[in-house]
Amino acid sequence: MTFYITRLTKHVFQHIWVGFCVLFLIACSESNSLGTTTDTIPSQVGGSQSPNSLSTQSSASPEPVNTETATYAAPTEVVPTPSMPNFLKGDFLTSNSDTCQLPCWEGLTVDNSKVGDVQTMFHTVLGFNEKVDILALPLPETFFAPPPSDNEILVIQSWGLYTSEPYREIAFRFDKQTRILKQISFYFMGTDDTGLSPDRVMRELGIPQFIFIKVRPTEVMAMRAGGLELVYKDGLVFFYQSTVQAERIQTGDWQAEFCFSEKFRNPSSFTLIKPLSTSDDLTNLLSSQQATIQPDLDEFVPIDQAFGVSILEFSTEVERENNTCFYMKVEP
């Protein structure tokens, strides 16, 4: 009996020991399985997974928003200046559409259009990136427009300076408070034909309401800086400048010769300002109009006083496109 119990106990312990070993092996196996699963999670981060996967919530995953932002964000640098539009090189007077005739220019009207309208024109007409802020564009190092006053914002775009191309400059003046467009000015340099000769301007736009001659001495007695200004009540002002030859006549006086079919073919500037009042004189000009039409009152002489001819007579002669010359008495 004792022997049987001893054998039974021995068998029980053997079974218990076997069971314990089996459980231990199972536990180890499961532990290894869990360890393998844990090790695979980092390798899945950054892999091809659905938007709901763990990797999309992990800080180690890529940031696609940053990529999109870098692709479509506004440029951090001003884009290169587009090339000059062809109409600025030549046929200027006929460049406008039927719905926008001078003094309207490319959809812009002085004393009516605002900064946003000019911004649109920079994109649609001049070819700038639509995201470029025109008020953030720096002024060129060299330009011909008068500097802005304290209550003005000046925006300038130019082409061709220090190159073989003809120089063109467009200046836009805004009221600083209202952001309303107060003036558009164009400046020209070069011998190319701008299509704005005095005879063509008068044929296309009619006889101007005012014509002034400007003359002043230079360092050389016989040479003078001469100017011709055509003023239209619609707010169009054309200014032509060249040197003129002065000579002493038999009476001992000096006279300057203005030949408008030779040197005065291209304007130095063309400006759009607020239309003038219906008054027949220029006594009620706004300060901005005055600064454009007669910046130096002592140097501008009405055409009848300068050449002794009326505006009609002068216009008729110039429109003939002959080598029309007029003479003006000048001080030595």
Q: Rounded distance, CA 82 to CA 318, Å?
A: 37
Contact 103, 162 (CB under 8 A): no
User: How confident is the model at residue 267, as a pLDDT?
Assistant: 84
Asked whether residue 40 is assigned to any structural domain, the reply reads: no
Residues of the chain scoring pLDDT < 70: 1-81, 86-87, 89-98, 218-221, 261-262, 278-280, 295-298, 321-323
Q: Rounded distance, CA 206 to CA 232, Å?
A: 9
Domain span at residue 138 reads: 86-189
Asked whether residue 9 is assigned to any structural domain, the reply reads: yes
User: How confident is the model at residue 96, as a pLDDT?
Assistant: 58
Residues 221, 101 share a domain: no
Residues 253, 226 share a domain: yes
Taking alpha carbons only, the member of 264, 282, 156 closest to residue 209 is 282
240: Cβ–Cβ under 8 A, 6 or more apart, which residues?
A: 198, 227, 228, 229, 264, 266, 267, 268
- Structure tokens belonging to residue 270: 């063309």
Contact 266, 193 (CB under 8 A): yes
Residues 243, 144 share a domain: no
189-241, pLDDT tens digit by residue?
A: 877 777 888 888 888 889 999 999 988 776 566 777 888 999 999 999 999 98
End-to-end CA distance of the chain, in Å?
157
Residues 98, 139 share a domain: yes
41-57, pLDDT tens digit by residue?
A: 332 333 333 332 222 33
Residues 303, 185 share a domain: no
Asked whether residue 79 is assigned to any structural domain, the reply reads: no
Taking alpha carbons only, the member of 240, 287, 109, 100 closest to residue 184 is 109
pTM score of the predicted model? 0.72
